[in-house]
Structure 1
Amino acid sequence: MKKSILIIEDDQVLNTLLVQQMQEMGYHVDGALSWKAAQAYLESNDPDLIFLDGRLPDASGNELIPELLPRCPVIILTAYGSVPQAVDAVRAGASDYLSKPVNPDELEVVIKRVLDNETLRQNYQFCKNQLRGKRHKLLVGSSPALGEVKQLLDAVAPSEMTVLINGESGVGKELVAHELHDLSDRVECHFVALDCCTIQENLFESELFGHERGAFTGADRKKKGLIDAAEKGTLFLDEIGEIGPAIQAKLLRVLETGRFRRVGGTRDLPSDVRIVAATNRDLEAMVRDGTFRQDLYYRLNAFTIPVPPLRERREDIQDLADHFVQTHNFSRRISKRINKAAMRHLVAYDWPGNVRELRNVVERAIILSRGHGEIRPEHLAICETDQQPGDLGTQLQFEKEPTLEQVEKHYLQSLLEKYSGHRGKVAGVMGISERNIYRLIQKYGLAKQTEKEALSD
């Protein structure tokens, strides 16, 4: 996007000449012959740079500098030999000055230098604002529900307690875990995250604990595991409910003794690591079903932090959406915002995929709104459904009180029917990845249903 420049100069010939020269340099340029004309222009425009004549017919240029500086940098134009006036202008805050008549080569160099310095200043200010006074810098939002999460973090962070974070997929459980690490005494060491859904069970033990050379076919060298990588730091185990019985037993031993053994190893190794786990499943129900160890559950459940879904903290939606836009603006050096109508749509939507879905929708809207200074409702790819996930779930009928897995299977089956086996749409509604949808389809034997739906399309 072209940088815009405003020239406030009462000499019409010089004003026109400067406009032409800067346009040839690739800038968008407008001219004003008086301070009154400039004020009218500034009511509806935000230039990136202002050239200001030191002596206007209706104002003194040096006196206007403090008023203009909050908008953008100012370069003062002075009469030949007016050094004292130029010095006063710089003291008042002008970025630079040029003497009339203006040398075109010098003009181009000064413009580039001032604009580059302004970009650096804005980047610095952005970083400074991100860090200033933000104890919970990773958790965006000011709702009472999120405030409770922050209070729990403040309470448990200084301790060495194992923490279990509960919440639906996409609510930001890993961010909460990372915030816990940043608030703890372990902040100077590594935060290591492992998504338990993404590692095959036969490789999980090696990934977590490491292995010795020759421990299994293909183990041609010793490998340290993630527990080693997180030494003196924090190990975050996401979706802890997905690990099998064998790994559960070995993880319990680490929590109880602070020691572990590599695959193929013969001796126990000490471990100084804080374990934080997260799940979107009901571990207590899994304990009753016999699919999760009761003793491990009690160890993990020493301190629980429930993270509410986005639909229960709508006050945070605008803050989050603006944060995603500002982050994109900073990384791309552009300026974009969400207009009021689009924001109303975002706040009204129920976000079954929670913060992850909101981020994806905003990032997609940024791409679709190229060429526009703002994101509008037509840029939002929100999946409006006739029924919300909760409404669909109330239609599921069971002869007796169902287990969590039964509810999950029937819910998945209903969504597959509704969306004709389209895994991407089902993943969006459930707030999980397509890979996890595929895993659930295989787990519950629903592959034939998806094939049948695909053939009928």
Structure 2
Amino acid sequence: MSRILIIDDEAGIRLTLGEGLKDFGHQVKAAKNSMEAYKVNSEFSPELIILDLNLGFENGLDLIESLRESNPNVQIIILTAYGDIKSAVTAVKKGVFDFLNKPFDIDELQFIIEKALDMKIMKNKIYLHEKEKQLNKVNFIGESHVIRNMLDDLLKVARMNDVTVLIRGESGTGKELAAEYVYSNSPRADKPYVKVNCAALPANLVESELFGYVKGAFTGADKEKIGLIEAASEGTIFLDEIGEISTEVQAKLLRVLESKKLMRVGSVKEIPVDVRVIAATNKDLVEAIKQGEFREDLYYRLNVFPVNIPPLRERIDDLGLLIRHFLKVYSAKFGKKIEASDSFIEAAGKYSWPGNVRELSNIIERLCILSSDRVLKDSDFTMFSDGDRGLDKAIKDFDLPEGFDLEEEVARIEKGYITEAMEMSGSNVSKAADLLNMSRYSLMRRLEKYGLN
């Protein structure tokens, strides 16, 4: 249900149009002149206004600026029996969504309303992203040689307005951050930026989400919808996990890159789009081509300027800076003062970091949640590291001794971790249970079992 304000000097139009829109499920208010319109607009805060061009002694176009002052995101549709090209051009310049002549068909008007509200939603998403981008400036932490070289490459390609970029790297290395860095430093930085996680889209919806669709294109397509590529027109679209889309969708994406045009699902009409594409993947696309999972022609179109994001294990010199950065961020978030000792950073440097910077961020955040104000030591890190450290490494490296008792060994390891968790939490059972990812009740039973009460 949407809030709609009708501004028309004819009582019959206000009544019949209002009833018709209510039948479609909208919440409707009406006004006959500018004084009423300003009052209702301020109190009702409509999402869409249907405005008559001729309001007796008033011109509807003169109301637009004042209406937007109190409701800047409202969509406006002009209704008039006096439509002409000059009025239409003036209306468009004032930001009117569409222009419809009387007499009109209520179904046609409803179709235009749906398109206007879809555009409002899309614009709001883009606006929210822009606000988020202003609050969280794109910032790579690191001074290592590999990071400096990577940033130089990103800055060079960012300034090339239309060059397609392919960002490659393991999960958690910062591919999305790299894409935002390119966008933020490009000539399109003041235009829309649309992020799409291709792996998160259901396979049967990828095509319609990217390219949009027309009414009746498939079951459930009861209205027209613009796609994400079209929404990014004049700006940039970031296609994360590009290796996850089907070869059929790859073919359509290739046509967009080659012709700068797209067709919505169910349509034969080509729509011009001016959009820069940044793609990212953690897959080996060359191998995917050999397996028939990725189109070779699309790969070469995307791979115009490849950028490799180094894994954390290859930029270990940046580890201290990253740890201190995340401690500063999460300490401020949770109102604490937590620092890292040299021994903590040294212990972290011996870890292989399979989850890369994302894993480091998660570990530091969890430590900040569970720790009181203090300096972290090497044993604090051991509690949270996975992969090649801790138990996995012990199991890989040991020889099975004579007289080995598995239950005793498991009990010894379990007791050791519980003891460490209790020390880290200051003997707070609830916090220790969180550290060990177990219920408080389960931990209390084990404390009793090992005599650690």
Which range, TM-score by smaller chain?
A: 0.5 to 0.7
Q: 2:359 aligns with which of 357, 360, 364?
A: 357
8 Å contact from structure 1 (residues 368, 379) kept in 2: no
Q: TM-score, normalised by structure 1?
A: 0.53
Structure 1 counterpart of 2:294, from 286, 292, 300: 292
The yes-or-no answer on 1:221 pairing with 2:234 is no
**Change beyond 3 A, Cα 1:386–1:201:** same
Q: How does 1:174-189 map to 2 (within 5 A)?
A: 174-189=176-191
Superposed, which structure 2 residues align to 1:158-237 within 5 Å? 158-159=159-160, 160-237=162-239
Map of 1:148 onto structure 2: 149
Residue-by-residue CA offset, 1:92-132 (whole Å, 9 max, x unaligned): xxxxxxxxxxxxxxxxxxxxxxxxxxxxxxxxxxxxxx99x
Pairs within 5 Å for 1:51-70: none
Opposite residue 385 of structure 2, the aligned amino acid is I
Task: Measure the CA separation in 1 of the matches of 2:370 and 2:210.
Answer: 41
- Do the aligned partners of 1:352 and 1:389 also contact (CA within 8 Å) in 2? no
Do the aligned residues in 1 keep the contact of 2:179 with 2:238 (CA within 8 Å)?
Answer: yes
Letter in 2 for 1:326: K
Aligned residues: 258
Kindly indicate whether residue 244 of structure 2 is the aligned counterpart of residue 269 of structure 1. Answer: no
Report the secondary structure of 1:304's partner residue. strand
- 1:350-374 per-residue CA deviation (whole Å, 9 max, x = no partner) reads 10111111111111111121x2333
Aligned CA RMSD, in angstroms, stands at 2.6
Q: Work out the CA distance in 2 between the residues paired with 1:365 and 1:333.
A: 13
- State the identity as a percent: 43
Deviations 1:375-414 (A, max 9, x none): 3334331115369999x9xxxxxxxxxxxxxxxxxxxxxx
Aligned counterparts of 1:384 and 1:256: Cα–Cα separation in 2: 43
- Residue 93 of structure 1 corresponds to which residue in structure 2? none
**What do residues 131-152 of structure 1 show as CA deviations (whole Å, max 9, x unaligned)?**
9xx9x94211111011111110
Aligned positions of 1:43-58 closer than 5 A:
none
Secondary structure at the aligned position of 1:382 is classed as coil
- Which residue is 2:285 aligned to? 283
- 2:347 maps to which of 342, 345, 348: 345
Q: Secondary structure at the match of 2:199?
A: coil
- Is the contact made by 2:331 and 2:368 (CA closer than 8 Å) also made in structure 1? no
Distance (Å, rounded) in 2 between the aligned partners of 1:387 and 1:342? 15
Equivalent residue of 2:180, what SS?
helix
Gaps of 5+ in 1: 1-129, 393-457
- Pairwise CA distance, 1:235: 0.7
Report how far residue 223 of structure 1 moved: 1.7
Counterpart in 2 of 1:331?
Answer: 333
Aligned-partner Cα distance in 1 for 2:186–2:305: 15
Among residues 309, 312, 319, which one is paired with 2:311 in the alignment? 309
Q: Which has the higher mean CA deviation after the structures are superposed, 145-154 or 377-386?
A: 377-386
Distance (whole Å) between structure 2 residues aligned to residue 266 and residue 314 of structure 1: 53
Which amino acid is 1:385 matched to? D
1:125 — aligned with what?
none
- Give the alignment's TM-score, normalised by structure 2: 0.54
Tell me what 1:372 maps to: 373
Structure 2 CA distance for aligned equivalents of residues 285 and 301 of structure 1? 15
- Map Cα deviations across residues 241-290 of structure 1 (whole Å, 9 max, x no partner): 11111000000001001111111223111111110111111111222222
Deviations 1:275-314 (A, max 9, x none): 0111111111222222211110110011100111100000
**1:368-447 aligned within 5 A:** 368-369=370-371, 371-380=372-381, 381-383=384-386, 385=388
SS in 2 for 1:202: coil
Residues 53-79 of structure 1 show CA distances to partners (whole Å, capped at 9, x for unaligned) of: xxxxxxxxxxxxxxxxxxxxxxxxxxx
Q: Do the aligned partners of residues 147 and 388 (structure 1) sit closer, same or farther apart at CA in structure 2, a change above 3 Å counting?
A: farther
Amino acid aligned to 2:339? R
Contact 2:159 2:186 in 1 (8 A): yes
Separation in structure 1 between the aligned mates of residue 392 and residue 243 of structure 2, nearest angstrom: 22
Contact conserved, 2:352 with 2:387, CA < 8 A, in 1? no
Deviating more after overlay: 351-360 vs 375-384: 375-384
- Summarize the alignment of residues 120-139 of structure 1 with structure 2, pairs less than 5 Å apart: 137-139=138-140
Q: Which residue of 2 aligns with 1:258?
A: 260
Aligned to 1:53: none
